Amino acid sequence: MNIQRRTFVQWAAMAAATAAARSSSAREASSAGLPDVAARPDDGTRWDKAPCRFCGTGCHVQVGVKGGKVVAIAADQQAEVNRGLLCVKGYHVGLALYGKDRLRTPLLRKGEKYEPISWDKALDIIAERVEKGPKGFAIYGSGQWTIPEGYAAQKFIKGGLSCNHIDPNARLCMASAVTGFLATYGVDEPAGCYDDLDECNVLILWGNNPAEMHPILFSRVLDRRARGDEIEIIDIGTRRTRSTAHAQHYLEMRPQTDLAIANGIAHLLIESGRYDKQFVEKHCAFRADSDPPSLPGQAIDFETYRKSLAEYTPARVEEISGIPQTQLRMLADRFADRKRRITSLWCMGMNQHTRGTAINTLVHGIHLLSGHFGRPGDAPTSLTGQPSACGTAREVGTLAHLLPGGRLVANADHRKQAEEIWNLPAGRVFDKPGYHTVAMWEKFCTPTKSGGDIHTIWVQVTNPGQTLPNRNKLFLASRSESDKFLIVSDVYPTATTRLADLILPSSMWVEKNGMFGNSERRTQQWFKQVDPPGDARDDCWQIIAAARRLYDRGFEGMKDKDGKFLFDVRAEDGKSIPVWNWKSYYDTNVDRHLFEEYRQFSRLKHKDLAPYDEYVKARGLRWPVVQQPDGSWRETRFRFSEFDDPYVEKGKEFDFYHSTTKDGRAQIWFRPYDAPPEMPDKEFPLWLCTGRVIEHWHTGTMTMRIEPLRRAMPTSYVEVHRDDAKQLGISDGEMVRIETRRGMLETRVWIDGRGAPPRGSIFVPFFDESQLINDLTLDAHDPFSKQPDFKKCAARIRRIAPASDAPASDGGQQATTSQPERG
């Protein structure tokens, strides 16, 4: 870079940093007329907005493009979510595009090798796999699909193949949050939003580590504290994390015992008469598990609820959870105090849980019982790990039991509505839910003759070869079944592509148009800004092109009831645009067409979306977005509260208008504590917990290719408590073997590292594909959400060699995992 250019870049950096330093609140940022980096003099860099590619926080960045490449990233001053700031991953997001090993051409497995093939041939192969048996063809996607991509994929499966076998990896990360919301309010997704973080006096982290996983949201809270606001942070967890360092109270519980703690709080509130009687009597009903268990459960009265809680005395809760009685009473006191505002945050800790639905409903229940609901700052809020887990997996309905806009495949009216919008013959949408993630992969791994009726899975935008629990059983086993075919669309080689039969190179992030929906119901839009490398193409195009190939081969499912193509796109003059031809794909904005069709689904559950062009102007809008008498579109920050939600009848104050009891009431559940399915014993005496680190995003396929992030955290490790290490005779940095009943892994020990597990407990992150911890994890899952528990199983550690014998260089970081060879 020459000197003049460097001077200019320095100027731009200072302008952005100064604006961010000044904008201590979004309202100040948007009203102060601060310089926007995009408004700088022209230096040949073109700037445009996009949401960050990584986590569910949904920060907006300004993307600087020069010479057809993304060369700079600035935090977006106009974005309410991040207010001119980004975390360590966010400012590196542009480099995620430029790993040297981007996939550039379709590849077909030939024995142990891959040979390049044309897209034309690849589409024929996909079509043949569908024709082999449409009901055995599944798509496994993710919360990183854009909204139009997910919409197209589920229309392909549900409207085209009539089989419903589509599920996203979001099943592994937030399915229990969905069932928790449904069981409590009758409709999915948080009532509050990030504004709660600006108003709360108490922030409770339920097994949550936002300092590393949602750093921009945590910064927002810490910044308030630095400005003199009094905010109490209470961290309830099984391991000390970076978030703990900022908490006034750390409550270390035994794994799974959050249910006992929640019940203990409710018990204390009721027995002391300090619950919010007025709120409860007016707006709530009580519920407990039915026999047989069902998501809606059965109604109970207050007295039954009270009696059910009776055993959760402070002494009993201490016995179960290890939380001292004084701390439990402290929590109950906070909830009893109506002057304070309490926000609860959770993510994987509560969701990746065999009782995930239960603990989600219990935390909602404490907020409802105490009346800490529906005022800014008073909110039970789940966060998502992926940028569009809400927008694509939940709202679009890429889960196996859903149709768009919160509809259910099992509901005849909902199927009829989908068939009408899609102009399909009656009965086209199949009435049984498809396989959820664990079942789908189980069927794929089971020999066909033994009932394994999924013969092909097409994976897009995710890496199940690294993330599925009990990987040997749920992923690798399929690779020795000769009639099972794995198609993978991705941007880099991964643990999944490595065992695929057909690999399709994809465009990523700003190499394509896109829309995401973040954790606070905010729908975001961006335009394509650079070209993808080689022959890489958009995932949405891949779906449409495969559908068209089937249509051209006479496959009836890809025709509507008038014989027109399922993804027919028309220009304003009514002429069909052949968007299935790559060269024509960007002749129109396919995202706009798909989104406008999808938008028709959004009103049933009051998740109203604005027209596409409104999102082009905004840094996202939180649904329901409702048109005002003057024609403008207004977003909603607080659902179910009269002061902000346009769907709450005037004078009602609160209205849970999708109530499962159809009386406007939310449900307060009783759910007992149950022991986890696998606990430490003599043979496997330790708890194993898995999770993430700040530097890497999920399986590291992008961030491990960003040199600064890779160097900052190059390999995985196991955190061990100092006393356990001493007892086992292992030292810091030493290679050890971790074993569970399902597999083993060799890795290095980190004592007093970033996180601090208590005695009897170890932690291993899952980002490192050279150390596949999911060979060891448990595939037991929640009965309602079907979400597996990655947070607890029984393990043991063995020494391999004394530290002095282990290689000291990077080579010593090599680790092994138990992987059967492909047959």
Partner 1 sequence: MPTFGLVLALKGRSDEREQVLTWLRADPRVQLGPLEQHRLALVLDTQTANEEAAFIERCMLSGCVRQVDIAYANFEDLVAFATGEETPDEHPA
Which among 12-20, 639-647, 678-686, 800-808 is the span making contact with partner 1, rule CB under 8 A? 12-20
Is 173 designated active site? yes
Closest to 212 measured CA to CA, from 735, 763, 758: 763
**Which of 122, 157, 216, 546 contacts ligand SF4 by CB under 6 A?**
216
Query: How far is it, in rounded angstroms, from Cα 33 to Cα 31?
Result: 6
**Among ligand SF4, partner 1, none, residue 55 binds (CB under 5-8 Å by kind):** ligand SF4
**Which of 12, 29, 34, 55 contacts ligand SF4 by CB under 6 A?**
55
Contact 171, 386 (CB under 8 A): no
Query: How far is it, in rounded angstroms, from Cα 524 to Cα 533?
Result: 25
Is 348 designated active site? yes
Query: How far is it, in rounded angstroms, from Cα 177 to Cα 348?
Result: 9
Query: Which one is catalytic: 52, 55, 174, 253?
Result: 174
Assess 215 for contact with ligand SF4 (CB under 6 A). yes
Which DSSP symbol is given to 737? E
Assess 755 for contact with partner 1 (CB under 8 A). no
Cβ proximity to ligand SF4: between 704 and 762 the closer is 704
Assess 226 for contact with partner 1 (CB under 8 A). yes
Q: Encoding tokens for residue 214?
A: 């949602």
Beta carbon of residue 692, minimum distance to ligand SF4 (angstroms, whole number): 11
At 743, the amino acid letter reads G
Is 193 designated active site? no
Query: Which one is catalytic: 347, 348, 440, 689?
Result: 348
| Whether residue 292 has a cis bond before it, omega within 30° of 0 | yes
At 278, the amino acid letter reads Q
**Among partner 1, ligand SF4, none, residue 59 binds (CB under 5-8 Å by kind):** ligand SF4
Is 14 designated active site? no
Beta carbon of residue 508, minimum distance to partner 1 (angstroms, whole number): 14
Cβ proximity to partner 1: between 24 and 627 the closer is 24
Cβ proximity to ligand SF4: between 177 and 547 the closer is 177
Query: Which one is catalytic: 52, 55, 163, 173?
Result: 173
| DSSP H or E stretch at residue 750 | strand 744-751
At 738, the amino acid letter reads I
Contact 103, 422 (CB under 8 A): no
CA 90 to chain centre: 17
Beta carbon of residue 82, minimum distance to ligand SF4 (angstroms, whole number): 6
Query: How far is it, in rounded angstroms, from Cα 508 to Cα 530?
Result: 10
CA-CA-CA-CA dihedral for 721, 238, 467, 112, to nearest 10: 10
Assess 30 for contact with partner 1 (CB under 8 A). no
CB under 8 Å to 764, separation ≥6 — which residues?
688, 689, 690, 716, 717, 718, 719, 738, 745, 747, 771, 773
Is 273 designated active site? no
Q: Encoding tokens for residue 462?
A: 């995710």
The residue with tokens 């449900």 is 667
Residue numbers 56-95 binding ligand SF4 by CB under 6 A:
57-59, 82, 86-87, 89-90
Cβ proximity to ligand SF4: between 239 and 696 the closer is 696
**Which of 33, 41, 42, 100 contacts partner 1 by CB under 8 A?**
100
Query: How far is it, in rounded angstroms, from Cα 323 to Cα 235?
Result: 12
Assess 227 for contact with partner 1 (CB under 8 A). yes
**Among partner 1, ligand SF4, none, residue 84 binds (CB under 5-8 Å by kind):** partner 1
**Which of 37, 125, 400, 477 contacts partner 1 by CB under 8 A?**
37
Query: Which one is catalytic: 49, 89, 158, 443?
Result: 89
Which among 23-31, 208-216, 628-636, 785-793 is the span making contact with ligand SF4, rule CB under 6 A? 208-216
Contact 468, 457 (CB under 8 A): no
Query: How far is it, in rounded angstroms, from Cα 137 to Cα 443?
Result: 11
CB under 8 Å to 575, separation ≥6 — which residues?
none
Q: How far is the CA of 736 from the CAs of 689, 741, 746, 795, in angstroms?
A: 16, 17, 6, 12
- CA neighbours closer than 13 Å in the CB half-sphere of residue 704: 18
Residue numbers 676-715 binding partner 1 by CB under 8 A:
707-708, 711-712
**Which of 26, 52, 55, 85 contacts partner 1 by CB under 8 A?**
85
Contacts with partner 1 by CB under 8 A: the residue count is: 50
Contact 705, 96 (CB under 8 A): yes
Assess 20 for contact with partner 1 (CB under 8 A). yes
Residue numbers 199-218 binding partner 1 by CB under 8 A:
none
Considering all CA atoms of the chain, what is the largest pairwise distance in Å, rounded to the nearest integer?
Answer: 77
Query: How far is it, in rounded angstroms, from Cα 189 to Cα 658?
Result: 12
Q: Encoding tokens for residue 500?
A: 């695929």
Phi-psi region of 523 (alpha: psi -120 to 50; beta: other; left: phi over 0): beta
Residue numbers 710-729 binding partner 1 by CB under 8 A:
711-712
Query: How far is it, in rounded angstroms, from Cα 734 to Cα 727?
Result: 14
Assess 54 for contact with ligand SF4 (CB under 6 A). yes
Q: Encoding tokens for residue 35?
A: 């310089």
Query: How far is it, in rounded angstroms, from Cα 153 to Cα 375?
Result: 38
Cβ proximity to ligand SF4: between 90 and 192 the closer is 90
**Which of 52, 266, 280, 331 contacts ligand SF4 by CB under 6 A?**
52
Query: Which one is catalytic: 385, 391, 434, 517?
Result: 385
Q: How many angstroms separate the first and last alpha carbons of the chain?
A: 51
Contact 86, 73 (CB under 8 A): yes
Got the DSSP string for 327-375? HHHHHHHHHH-TTS-EEEEESHHHHSSTTHHHHHHHHHHHHHHHT--SS
**Among partner 1, ligand SF4, none, residue 400 binds (CB under 5-8 Å by kind):** none
Cβ proximity to partner 1: between 9 and 330 the closer is 9
**Which of 86, 440, 515, 720 contacts partner 1 by CB under 8 A?**
86
Contact 321, 236 (CB under 8 A): no
Assess 531 for contact with partner 1 (CB under 8 A). no
Binding mask 41-70 for partner 1 (x = CB under 8 A): -----------------------x-xx-xx
Cβ proximity to ligand SF4: between 58 and 374 the closer is 58
Which DSSP symbol is given to 280? H
Which among 49-57, 204-212, 275-283, 506-514 is the span making contact with ligand SF4, rule CB under 6 A? 49-57
**Among ligand SF4, partner 1, none, residue 2 binds (CB under 5-8 Å by kind):** partner 1
**Among ligand SF4, partner 1, none, residue 421 binds (CB under 5-8 Å by kind):** none
Contacts with ligand SF4 by CB under 6 A: the residue count is: 14
Cβ proximity to partner 1: between 227 and 682 the closer is 227
Which among 8-16, 209-217, 257-265, 730-738 is the span making contact with ligand SF4, rule CB under 6 A? 209-217
Assess 75 for contact with partner 1 (CB under 8 A). yes
**Among partner 1, ligand SF4, none, residue 70 binds (CB under 5-8 Å by kind):** partner 1
- Would you please indicate which residues are annotated as catalytic (active-site) residues? 89, 173-174, 348, 385-386
Which stretches of the chain bind ligand SF4, using CB under 6 A? 52, 54-55, 57-59, 82, 86-87, 89-90, 214-216
Which stretches of the chain bind partner 1, using CB under 8 A? 1-2, 6, 9-10, 12-22, 24, 37, 64, 66-67, 69-75, 84-88, 90-92, 94-95, 98-100, 219, 222-223, 226-227, 707-708, 711-712
